[in-house]
């Protein structure tokens, strides 16, 4: 089995609502659309699929529901640190949910307000937003090996 992910599929409550956020809000281009599914290109050989949770459950099985976040994050890495803040602003304008930052600053003060990216223990700078279903996107600058791999050169 080759080391490849071809599609990441998220179950969503309302595909039209997801479309409004990703396509109308963020300006992303649909690659494929059919009733109950919206597929967006997210890499050279990668598709991002938003699938009606009703159809998802029919094929994959009942979804784990309850309080709390889904056990995944999608990261969008950028080169310059300042671009983290720019992208968070774009997402905010597109209607993303602010996400409480659960980690306080290193001086032990109160957690910064939502929408504020913070310096991370692992050496980078990042902040989160929630999509219409609450899926967490981390906008990150991870200088070194991670950014060298994931941020395409212009």
Question: Given the rule CB under 8 A, which residues bind a copy of itself?
Answer: 1-11, 26-29, 31-32, 34, 39-48, 53, 56, 58-77, 87, 90-91, 99-100, 102-103, 122, 128, 133, 136, 138-140, 145-146, 149-152
First to last CA, the chain: 31
CA separation for the pair 53, 12 (Å, rounded): 5
Please, which residue, 48 or 125, has the CB nearer to a copy of itself?
48
CA separation for the pair 35, 130 (Å, rounded): 24
Q: What is the 8-class DSSP label of residue 111?
A: P
Work out how close the CB of 73 gets to a copy of itself at its nearest, in angstroms, rounded to a whole number.
Answer: 5
CA separation for the pair 57, 40 (Å, rounded): 21
Work out how close the CB of 69 gets to a copy of itself at its nearest, in angstroms, rounded to a whole number.
Answer: 5
Q: Measuring CA to CA, how many Å separate 124 from each of 40, 57, 121, 132, 151?
A: 27, 37, 7, 26, 14
Please, which residue, 16 or 63, has the CB nearer to a copy of itself?
63
- Reading the block at residue 96, the tokens are 């993303």
Please, which residue, 16 or 31, has the CB nearer to a copy of itself?
31
Work out how close the CB of 114 gets to a copy of itself at its nearest, in angstroms, rounded to a whole number.
Answer: 12
Work out how close the CB of 46 gets to a copy of itself at its nearest, in angstroms, rounded to a whole number.
Answer: 5
Please, which residue, 29 or 107, has the CB nearer to a copy of itself?
29
């Amino acid at each position: 089995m080759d080391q490849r992910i071809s599609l990441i599929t998220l179950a969503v409550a309302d595909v039209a609502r997801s479309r409004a956020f990703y396509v109308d809000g963020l300006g992303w281009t649909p690659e494929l659309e059919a009733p109950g599914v919206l597929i967006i290109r997210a890499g050279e050989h990668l598709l991002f699929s938003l699938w009606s949770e009703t159809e998802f459950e029919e094929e994959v099985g009942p979804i784990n529901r309850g309080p709390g976040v889904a056990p995944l994050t999608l990261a969008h890495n950028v080169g310059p640190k300042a671009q983290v803040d720019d992208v968070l602003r774009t997402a905010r304008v597109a209607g993303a949910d602010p996400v409480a930052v659960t980690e306080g600053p290193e001086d032990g003060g109160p957690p910064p307000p939502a929408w504020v990216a913070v310096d991370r223990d692992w050496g980078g700078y990042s902040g989160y937003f929630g999509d219409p279903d609450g899926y967490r996107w981390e906008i990150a600058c991870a200088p070194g090996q991670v950014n060298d791999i994931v941020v395409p050169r212009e």
